[in-house]
Amino acid sequence: MKDIPAKFNVLVLPPKKFITDLRILLFELPKRGQKVSQIVPFRYLRVKLEFRDSNRLRPIKIEYKHFGTQYFQPKEFIKLLRQARNIYVTRDEKNSLDDFTEMLHDYQISYDEIEICKLCIMDNRITFLKKKDRYYRDNDTFCFQCAMKEISDESEFRGFVPNKKFTGRIELLLKKKYGHNVGKILKIFEPGFDASKNPEFTFYDKLEVSVEKRREYPISNYELPQQFLTLLKREKVTKLLPIQHLAIQNGLLKNEKMLISAPTGTGKTLIGELAAITKLYRNDEGKVLYLGNLVALVNQKYQNFKSRYRDFYVTIRVGMSKIDVGEEDLVIVDEDIQDSDIICASYEAFDFLLRKGPEEIKNIGKISTIIIDEIQILDDEDRGAVLAGLIAKIFILYPEAQVIGLSATIGNAQEIGKLLRLKPVEYDERLVPLERHLVLCKSEYEKIFNIIQLVRSESRKISKFGFPGSSLIFTNARWRCEYLANVLQNEKGINAMAYHSGLTYLDRKFISKEFESGNLQAIVTTYALGAGFDTPCSQVIFESCLMGIEILSPNMFLNMSGRAGRFRMQELGKIYVLVEIGKNYHGTDKTEDQIGLDLLGSTIENLRLEYDPELVESQVLAAIAAGIDTKIEEFYENLIGTREDLPLLLKGLRKHKLIKRKENKYIVTTLGRAIALSFFTVQQGLMIVRELHKNKDPLNIAIRLEFFENIYMTDEIKKIFLDEFKINLPNKFIAGRIVGITARLGKYKRRLRKYAGVAQSIVKWQKVFFSCGCGNAPYCDCPILSMDRKLVQLRMEKGLTPRKISQHMDRTFNLKVYSGDLLRFFDNLIHRLQGIERLAKVIGENEIEGKIFDLIRKIEKPR
């Protein structure tokens, strides 16, 4: 043979079928120092052999490809073998080359037995395998690269594309945990995979906690009033946590205004109390104001403060209407705050008092400490501008007050602190380590199976502090909450309940207490309400990567994750993200498993502060209504998220006669104050005035300002349409597909006869909600208007409570309406009607004003 280098090597491969037909490769070894892997051979020989001379194997024909097919004699082949620097015979489990090695012995040719990667050789590459380099699947051996490719190919076949971190975890498991066994790793793709029994397969990473960063500090080290120290010790608060110590170091007890940014469960709330209660015990002049974003959160703090700080007078303002619902739910009555020491208020309720003007502000009195909880709400598209306006007014009206903003971890705390003129104090560590897992599910069934197994497994564990394991399951919709809770409830040994905003406050409070006491092993909740659920748990399960129909933001995901593991309750928190491989989400080209990986790899995002010009204009009007007349420029400098020119905004307000200029200050008009007090935007207020002048129905005006759309299809109707017509109905009642069904009722009528109740319900839908007769029917807003008016009618004319209305809608129309939603609908509707009533009074529409007064009275206390 020509063109063969002087130093070459021979590799003999096992026969595909018979020993008489062999493949032999010629190759050069890499230079010294180079890795002996994935060598490309320079010549392929096909050797035909036969048994001769007492059944001994001998070559008879040798061919190879080189400018066509070439042949050479058996003697030349033996000579070639003798010239080879090394001969390697591939070892396999069948010992299929024993006859060939006997032939080499006969010719006194030495050889070495080796193992090679079987996948590499299929790609015309040679990779030698030492014992430490072998990876297995069934009877096949691979190199590391091919083993990982096998796993990658299998995962891609299932539709899952791992990220770098997940791949690194698989590599670690393959190398160290499972003895190079590829088959064991691929177990995660097998049907019936149980994540609770195989946490090493689902493990993504672990967020550790350094001992130094979770160091505790004796409370006696700080200059706190003795009465306060005694009270805290009675509450078993003997040591301060790192973020609390850090705040004191940065001037908390020296009236320093600050922005606290820290994860959930690190003790942020006590920071505000340390500053505020210290001043009260020292008899410093001024009240304490606590501001929260949710009525339930404000009420929780109010109850806590009343119980803990009995030396002081605690009051609450949340702005609820005086609606009478009997004992169905809690209706919080606002208290007089003139003589109070501690005021607990929602953002809007306190802002309402400021918008009343200087007299009301004088009645509030001096405030020495203002605690603004959940200040990251500034990022909210709607409420963010209201909070920004409130903060800007506070800095003008209470310049000496110590403002303490409390926030979940935010990416740009330094920037936000500078904008708000608050000293940023950041703590980005958890107090409890957090173990995070990714569970790959092949179907909806597997996802539910794993939720059951994870909840059951966790409920059997007890932390070293004596607390039982508990699970908080996040999903994207209420119906999903209830469905999953029912599935869990039907499992032996699991007590679970759904927790969402459709429930009444009393129901949610009961569920929280049951969970906290250990009577519930799991709560299934939505992301929207999870922000207000502060009860600790040991395990958080993400059943979906959506919030409603939107993909979870990194901030939402990370903040919800932070609820797993509470200091002094659990030694470890656990996160499980369950994803269905290949499941598509509407509006994105990414699958659920890809989104899950993105969320696990995400970091806290910056707050984005840029508000709609219409909302900014309304905040300027609200500031002038609060008596900020000569300092409106200073207010606007304090107002974050603005891009508009202030003189232009003021010019617009003057044009609409909402403010007027008198000497060097701006004064709000009666119309301007009415719009500001009602929390209408300027455009909404002017639109309402036009509608009132046209003598439009005030109830329709109020409903159209914000339709109530939380009306759902019952499970019964959804199941019937799926079984009979293969139509998957949407969950919400007022949707395009429902409109289409009612418009083509005749198409379904005959087959619905056997479901008499359902057929009657659909007929009633058409008659009551879809028979407006307007030019755009049935694709107009008349159906939802009719629905909302029906709910109001049941309240006013029949005197039904929210719970009884809910029962009536189910019984009469086969529709589901939650009583908690109904209470909020009526409460918000009353507020909007009160706003319209103010405007009617200002423009002299006395008859309409009287009509609205009567409407409000009938909704609050019917018959």
The pLDDT tens digits for 353-385 are 999 999 999 999 999 999 999 999 999 888 999
**Nearest in space to 813 (alpha carbons), one of 706, 727, 734, 708:** 734
Shared domain for 761 and 817, answered yes or no, is: yes
Strands 434-441 and 573-580, by their bridges, are parallel
Are 123 and 238 part of one and the same domain? no
- What is the three-state SS of 260-275? EECCCCCCHHHHHHHH
Same domain, 464 and 485: yes
- Establish if 654 belongs to a structural domain: yes
**Between 270 and 72, the higher pLDDT residue:** 270
Domain range for 784: 705-860
User: Is residue 452 domain-shared with residue 521, that is, in the same domain?
Assistant: yes
Same domain, 549 and 631: no
The domain boundary residue, chosen from 600, 627, 642: 600
Say if residue 397 is in the same domain as residue 502.
Answer: no
Same domain, 39 and 81: yes
pLDDT at 736: 63
The answer to whether residues 596 and 618 belong to one domain is no
What was the pLDDT predicted at 702?
97
Q: Which of 426, 451, 467 is the last residue of a domain?
A: 426
Specify the number of domains making up the chain. 5
For residue 371, the model assigns a pLDDT of 97
In a domain, 689, yes or no: no
For position 367, which CATH number holds? 3.40.50.300
Confidence band, pLDDT 50/70/90 cuts, at residue 291: very high
Is residue 693 one of the residues assigned to a domain? no
* Average pLDDT, integer, range 505-528: 89
Structural tokens at position 566: 């509470």
| Distance of alpha carbon 376 from alpha carbon 518, whole angstroms | 31
Position 94 confidence tier, pLDDT thresholds 50, 70, 90: confident
139: in domain: no
How many Cα neighbours within 13 Å face the side chain of 829?
30
Strand ranges (DSSP E) for 8-42?
9-12, 21-27
In a domain, residue 669? The reply is yes
- The span from the CA of 247 to the CA of 67, in Å, is 81
Rounded Cα gap, residues 215 and 849, in angstroms: 62
- Name residue, tokens 């996802």: 447
Is residue 465 in some structural domain?
yes
Q: Which of the four pLDDT bands, split at 50, 70 and 90, describes residue 748? A: confident
Cis peptide before 778 (omega within 30 of 0): yes
Among residues 313, 372, 366, the alpha carbon closest in space to that of 343 is found at: 313
In a domain, 51, yes or no: yes
523 neighbors 472 (Cβ within 8 angstroms): yes
- State the chain's mean pLDDT as an integer: 89
Residues 255 and 382 in one domain: yes
| Rounded Cα distance, 181 and 63, in Å | 38
Residue 186 has pLDDT above 90, yes or no: no
Asked whether residue 296 is assigned to any structural domain, the reply reads: yes
Residue with more model confidence, 173 or 533: 173
- State whether 584 and 668 are in the same domain: no
- Do both 344 and 468 map to the same domain? no
d(CA 631, CA 623): 10
The reply to whether 492 and 580 lie within a common domain is: yes
CATH number at residue 667: 1.10.10.10
The dihedral sign for the CA sequence 105, 111, 115, 120: negative
* DSSP codes joined into one string, 534-591: ---BSEEEE--SEETTEEPPHHHHHHHHTTB--TTT-S-EEEEEEEETT-B-TT-SSB
587: pLDDT strictly greater than 80:
no
| Of residues 771 and 325, more confidently modeled | 325
Q: pTM, whole model, 2 decimals? A: 0.84
Q: Is residue 545's pLDDT more than 60?
A: yes
pLDDT of residue 741: 72
Most confident of 21-35, 280-294, 723-737: 280-294
Is the pLDDT at 292 greater than 60? The verdict is yes
- Among 133, 164, 180, the domain boundary falls at 133
Question: What pLDDT does 629 receive?
Answer: 86
